[in-house]
């Protein structure tokens, strides 16, 4: 039981940190309106969306989404590719 509470706290803290980073990047995109910042903000948006999708399963088994580790890796890879494309964009 103690480990489950720790897992919930860590997941919620990481989701809040991801949303904070996405907010900063998205505000930077709104300020500059460049394709580079758009790609980077889409990458962080993918991370935020993934974090928000997995939060409800912590509190109820009804919302259990069966995601394999490979699907988690694929979602992270998509987010990282968008961020990489944004960084490499001139």
50/87 Cα distance (integer angstroms): 21
The total of structural domains in the chain comes to 1
Whether 44 and 18 have beta carbons less than 8 Å apart is answered as: yes
Whether 81 and 46 have beta carbons less than 8 Å apart is answered as: no
pLDDT in tens, the chain (90 residues): 555 888 888 889 999 999 999 999 999 999 999 999 999 999 999 999 998 888 877 777 776 677 788 988 999 999 999 999 999 986
Closest listed residue to residue 41, CA positions, set 24, 60, 16: 24
9-30 pLDDT per residue, tens: 888 999 999 999 999 999 999 9
Half-sphere exposure of 67 (CA within 13 A, CB side): 17
Find the domain containing 49 and state its range: 2-88
Instruction: Indicate yes or no: pTM above 0.85.
Output: no
């Amino acid at each position: 039981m103690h480990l489950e509470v720790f897992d919930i706290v860590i997941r919620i803290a990481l989701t809040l940190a991801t949303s904070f980073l996405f907010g900063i990047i998205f505000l930077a995109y709104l300020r500059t309106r460049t394709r580079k910042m758009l790609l980077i903000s889409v990458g962080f948006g993918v991370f935020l969306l993934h974090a928000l999708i997995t939060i409800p399963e912590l509190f109820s088994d009804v919302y259990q989404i069966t995601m394999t580790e490979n699907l988690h890796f694929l979602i992270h890879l998509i987010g990282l590719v968008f961020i990489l494309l944004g960084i490499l964009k001139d």
